[in-house]
């Protein structure tokens, strides 16, 4: 038997339970991973507190571990390889595997959707890369069309186009939530996409993070306090009234953020904002605004399986999205891009402390929920900012 964090949908919580260790069927295309570290994402907490999966599902998305068994037909990996990836966990109504356990079995096409952790990166760091890194890459490269440093089936890597440049040859990209886990990867990927040339990168974050965000690998040219009520006018002052932001990534996508970002965009067809919460979720206010330039996507569409939310909103798997994930993971495996992992906060207690500590810090999935976290004296229970919560499954 092994330990796993298992959903109790009726009680709207999860607890550590003993479940059978999955066994490899050599007649099938399978991969068995010993999980060493996992990272938390707001969506993990969201769908435990607001469950759409059935009781008994294993919770969790991001993982890193070691290959312990593999089907003979799988030639790209070997026993002992350090790998990382993400799965849906209990974040769907239809059954999908979860990562918060001592072992994880991947089958069929899921076997391709892992990446080899380079020697310079620890498994703790790698655990926090996949979900937020892939989400940021989808937003920047797929939805906004920012040039990607890698190719994927059906699409070749490309260079910046002149249509995205301002009068001075500079492209302006705005990232709201620059110090979030998603924002930290978004900045790196935008810089990599443009090769650091002719890029004006504007970030919205807390002033306490400005010094960090000015440095490598984020390289912001302008930073504004997201608390300031007139930050949209400050952005327009930077870009000029006749110009506007070329591309934006809204790494919060809550409340008025989409509305405010849209007010800073230029008027060209390519001027768009990538958002990461759907209009149907009602996480952000869409009343009275044209949302045609707000391009939504969910990271799950890149995993090759339909995702059913149970509220009439389903995400259909597409071959193009899955091919993009394979291309991104191959790029990570190659080490060519050297995407820097987010700073991590190594949380104590393993699987047993995810719900009482980690999920308490993340709240119900929205940034505003975190304001209500109860007072804690433990150092590891300080508010989360510019770092990823990571638990070791094995010492």
- Each residue of 173-206: pLDDT tens digit? 999 999 999 999 999 999 999 997 899 999 999 9
Instruction: Measure the CA–CA gap between 319 and 304, rounded to whole angstroms.
Output: 7
The sign of the torsion formed by the CA atoms of 64, 67, 70, 72 equals positive
Q: How many CB atoms lie within 10 A of CB 119?
A: 7
**Mean pLDDT, residues 233-242:** 91
- Residue 138 — very low, low, confident or very high, per pLDDT cuts 50/70/90? very high
Q: How far, CA to CA in Å, does 31 sit from each of 55, 81, 107, 112, 273?
A: 25, 11, 6, 10, 37
pLDDT at 161 (0 to 100): 45
- Residue 31 — very low, low, confident or very high, per pLDDT cuts 50/70/90? very high
Instruction: Measure the CA–CA gap between 86 and 127, rounded to whole angstroms.
Output: 9
- Residue 172 — very low, low, confident or very high, per pLDDT cuts 50/70/90? very high
| pTM exceeds 0.85 | yes
Higher pLDDT, 305 or 324: 324
DSSP code string of 158-217: -PPPGGG--TTS-EEEEEESTTSHHHHHHHHHHHHHHTTSSEEEEEEE-GGGHHHHHSTT
Please provide residue 323's backbone torsions phi and psi, each rounded to the nearest 5 degrees. -60, -35
Digit-coded pLDDT (tens) for 320-378: 999 999 999 999 999 887 899 999 999 999 999 999 999 999 987 555 555 445 566 79
pLDDT at 221 (0 to 100): 98
- Residue 129 — very low, low, confident or very high, per pLDDT cuts 50/70/90? very high
Digit-coded pLDDT (tens) for 110-123: 999 999 999 999 99
DSSP code string of 243-272: S-BSEEEESS--BTHHHHHHTTB-SSTT-E
**Mean pLDDT, residues 25-40:** 94
């Amino acid at each position: 038997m092994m330990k796993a964090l298992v959903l109790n949908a009726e009680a709207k919580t999860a607890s550590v339970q003993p479940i059978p260790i999955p066994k490899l069927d050599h007649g099938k295309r399978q991969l068995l991973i010993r999980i060493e570290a996992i990272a938390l994402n707001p969506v993990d907490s969201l769908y435990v507190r607001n469950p759409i999966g059935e009781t008994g599902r294993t919770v969790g998305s991001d993982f890193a571990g070691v290959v312990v068994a593999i089907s003979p037909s799988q030639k790209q990996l070997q026993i002992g390889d350090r790998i990382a990836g993400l799965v849906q966990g209990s974040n769907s109504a239809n059954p999908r595997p979860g990562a918060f356990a001592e072992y994880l079995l991947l089958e069929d096409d899921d076997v391709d959707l892992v990446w080899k952790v380079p020697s310079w990166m620890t498994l703790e760091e790698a655990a926090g890369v996949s979900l937020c890194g892939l989400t940021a890459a989808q937003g920047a490269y797929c939805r906004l069309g920012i040039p990607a440093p890698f190719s994927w089936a059906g699409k070749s890597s490309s260079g910046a186009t002149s249509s995205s440049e301002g009068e001075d040859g500079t492209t302006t990209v705005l990232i709201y939530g620059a110090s979030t886990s998603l924002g930290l990867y978004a900045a790196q990927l935008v810089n990599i996409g443009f090769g650091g040339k002719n890029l004006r990168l504007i970030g919205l974050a807390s002033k306490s993070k400005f010094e960090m965000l000015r440095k490598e690998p984020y390289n912001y040219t302008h930073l504004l306090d997201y608390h300031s009520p007139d930050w949209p006018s400050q952005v327009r002052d930077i870009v000029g009234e006749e110009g506007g932001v070329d591309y934006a990534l809204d790494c919060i996508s809550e409340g008025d953020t989409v509305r405010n970002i849209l007010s800073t965009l230029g008027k060209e067809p390519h001027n768009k904002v990538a958002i990461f919460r759907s209009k149907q979720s009602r996480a952000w206010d869409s009343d009275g605004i044209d949302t045609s330039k707000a391009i939504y996507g969910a990271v799950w569409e890149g995993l090759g399986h339909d995702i059913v939310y149970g509220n009439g909103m389903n995400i259909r798997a597409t071959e193009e999205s899955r091919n993009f994930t394979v291309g991104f993971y191959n790029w990570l495996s190659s080490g060519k891009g050297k995407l820097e992992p987010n700073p991590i906060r190594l949380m104590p207690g393993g699987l047993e402390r995810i719900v009482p500590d980690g999920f308490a810090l993340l709240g119900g999935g929205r940034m505003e929920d975190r304001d209500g976290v109860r007072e804690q004296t433990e150092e590891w229970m300080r508010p989360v900012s510019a770092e990823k919560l990571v638990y070791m499954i094995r010492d």
